[in-house]
Amino acid sequence: MRKPLIAGNWKMHFTVPEGLEYALQLRRDLEPYSAVVDAVILPPAVMLWEIANALRGCAIEVGAQNAGWEDQGPFTGEISPKMLAGWCHYLLIGHSERRQLFNETDEELNRKLHAGLRHRLKVILAVGETLEEYEAGRTAEVITRQLNAAVYGVELRQATELSVAYEPVWAIGTGKTATPEIAQEAHAFIKSLLDAPVLYGGSVKPENAEELLAQPDVDGALVGGASLEVESFAAICETAARLSRS
Ligand code: PGA
């Protein structure tokens, strides 16, 4: 397997001191695995800089959960990829909560993707179908639309910094994980469209990480709920490290 990438999406959790304490503990816990697994945490924007500094000199990287597409200007409440450039490693875009709760469109995500890559951020693009779409057998169609729209106009040489997270919406925060077979099928399909690492997201936890990460086309995980406890996030990273060594 490729060097696995495990990303912890904190969403809107933790105060700044809590986030810092977590980061320092993770730094200690992941020390033995740093050569075999890429671990990334995605804290809320307000603590990102502080946490990036606390993790300086270690292998754990940080990323933003969202950003706009302009470099600067009258966009109250927004942060720009330019502000992240040079010290923040990753940018997550297209999470289903952004798409559904904040009405982000495929066209906006295309702009965000271009802006992120222009500022040399490693972009994780989340895609995935809703329960209704899944039950109607429309997974491939939805993923194809989301992917094609997001990467429109992106040159292949830029796309080396792009990863995809397959997150079936019906599995996010619901405790319902896609079976390893469902995940594998969707990942293989995504790779038939785009040559990029594909992470699985949706109720990944220490108990199911191994069977998901063992699938040939699952290159890592985007972890929400289980990343809120440093021990369980570290346990998922350990599992990934063990599989990548074997
Ligand atoms: P979950 O969230 O692990 O809590 O299902 C995943 C995500 O939203 O990225």
Report CA(73)–ligand 1 centroid distance (Å): 32
184-235, pLDDT tens digit by residue?
A: 999 999 999 999 999 999 999 999 999 999 999 999 999 999 999 999 999 9
Say which DSSP state 89 is in.
-
Residue 222 contacts residue 199 (beta carbons within 8 Å): yes
* Structural domain span for residue 89: 5-245
3-state helix, strand, coil in the chain (%, to 5): 45, 15, 40
CATH number at residue 20: 3.20.20.70
Amino acid letter for position 227: S
CB of 8 within 6 A of ligand 1: the answer is no
Residue 143 contacts residue 127 (beta carbons within 8 Å): yes
Strand partners, 163: 124
CB of 202 within 6 A of ligand 1: the answer is yes
pLDDT reported for residue 245:
83
Interhelix angle for 139-151 vs 106-118, to 10°? 50
> Token pair 């040159």 is at which residue?
155
Residue 40 contacts residue 52 (beta carbons within 8 Å): no
pLDDT band, very low/low/confident/very high, at 176 (cuts 50, 70, 90): confident
Terminal-residue alpha carbon distance, the chain: 9
Does residue 1 carry a pLDDT above 70?
Answer: no
Report CA(129)–ligand 1 centroid distance (Å): 14
Mean pLDDT of the residues in the chain: 96
Residues identified as active-site: 95, 167
CB of 173 within 6 A of ligand 1: the answer is yes
Residue 44 contacts residue 64 (beta carbons within 8 Å): no
- Supply the pTM of this predicted model: 0.96
Count structural domains, the chain: 1
Calculate ∠ Cα 117-129-184, nearest 5°: 80
Does residue 67 carry a pLDDT above 90?
Answer: yes
Does residue 4 carry a pLDDT above 80?
Answer: yes
